[in-house]
């Protein structure tokens, strides 16, 4: 038996389309002789019905914790001698960003890429190293506005929404919904709700109502 894993109005990621959508209808598929639906599909306004395996929920990444202190260090340029690259901001070295207490992990670029535009790479390195602090500032703004949204100026509300959306691109990941998230819909003929077509009905698709999942 199938149970609804999403509910009406829920925001979902449609993997085969590569876009976000909203559940417009939860559509149980009934079969004669069964008290519960044999399948549940979802109308998300994209021209066809989708099954749960095609849809994903945004959830907070469990690894989102203390990021520590990201740092920009300078590594020796093994590909070019300092006298050969006087146009570099720091001839003989290039920037690396480390994100681990043991100076491991992080970000770096190949020597050829650094040589192509060293000033831009230096800027990127500084920005990446500052990312945890910038995230903390953005989260503090969101939290401050959320405490008293009625008293916040419109400009602050707009900035807080932008900060929240930017943070979610980092902290949220896609996840399949848990099994049997919701109770199964009632059989046709029960309390009012979304109308669905029961398979096996007469040619003039008989409409029945079920309690919305």
C-alpha to C-alpha distance for 55 and 43, rounded to whole angstroms: 11
Higher pLDDT, 194 or 12: 12
For residue range 163-186, what is the model confidence (pLDDT) as tens digits?
999 998 888 888 877 665 544 455
Nearest-angstrom CA–CA distance, 71 and 96? 8
Residue 212, pLDDT > 80, answer no
- 9-37 mean pLDDT: 83
Confidence of residue 211 (pLDDT cuts 50, 70, 90): very low
Identify which of 194, 173, 140, 171 has the alpha carbon closest to the alpha carbon of residue 4: 194
The β-bridge partners of 169 are none
CA distance 200 to 203: 9
Q: Which of 49, 56, 51 is nearest to 39 (CA)?
A: 51
Quick one: pLDDT at residue 188? 54
Mean residue pLDDT of the chain comes to 79
3-state secondary structure of 89: coil
Choice between 164 and 192, residue whose per-residue pLDDT is larger: 164
Q: Residue 83 pLDDT more than 80?
A: yes
Q: How confident is the model at residue 189 (pLDDT cuts 50, 70, 90)?
A: low
Q: Which two tokens stand for residue 159?
A: 């900035």
Q: pLDDT at position 133, please?
A: 92
Higher-scoring residue by pLDDT: 203, 127 = 127
pLDDT (average), residues 192-212: 38
Higher pLDDT, 96 or 1: 96
pTM for the model stands at 0.61
| Weakest mean pLDDT among 72-81, 165-174, 204-213 | 204-213
Provide the pLDDT for residue 65.
Answer: 64
């Amino acid at each position: 038996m199938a149970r609804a894993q999403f509910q009406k109005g829920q925001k979902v990621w449609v993997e085969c389309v590569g876009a976000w959508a909203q559940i417009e209808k939860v559509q149980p598929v009934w079969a004669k002789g069964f008290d519960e639906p044999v399948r549940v599909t979802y109308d998300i306004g994209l021209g066809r019905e989708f099954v749960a395996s095609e849809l994903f929920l945004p959830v907070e990444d469990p690894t989102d914790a203390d990021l520590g202190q990201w740092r920009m260090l300078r590594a020796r340029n093994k590909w070019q001698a300092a006298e050969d690259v006087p146009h570099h901001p720091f001839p003989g070295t290039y920037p690396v960003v480390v994100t681990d207490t043991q100076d491991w992990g992080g970000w770096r670029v190949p020597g050829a890429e650094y040589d192509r535009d060293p000033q831009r790479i230096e800027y990127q390195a500084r920005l990446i190293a500052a990312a945890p602090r910038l995230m903390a500032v953005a989260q503090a703004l969101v939290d401050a506005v959320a405490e008293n949204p009625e008293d916040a100026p419109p400009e602050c509300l707009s900035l807080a929404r932008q900060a929240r959306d930017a943070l979610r691109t980092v902290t949220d990941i896609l996840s399949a919904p848990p099994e049997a998230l919701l109770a199964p819909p009632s059989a046709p003929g029960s309390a009012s709700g979304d109308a669905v077509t029961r398979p096996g009905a007469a040619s003039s698709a008989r409409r029945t109502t079920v309690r919305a999942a």
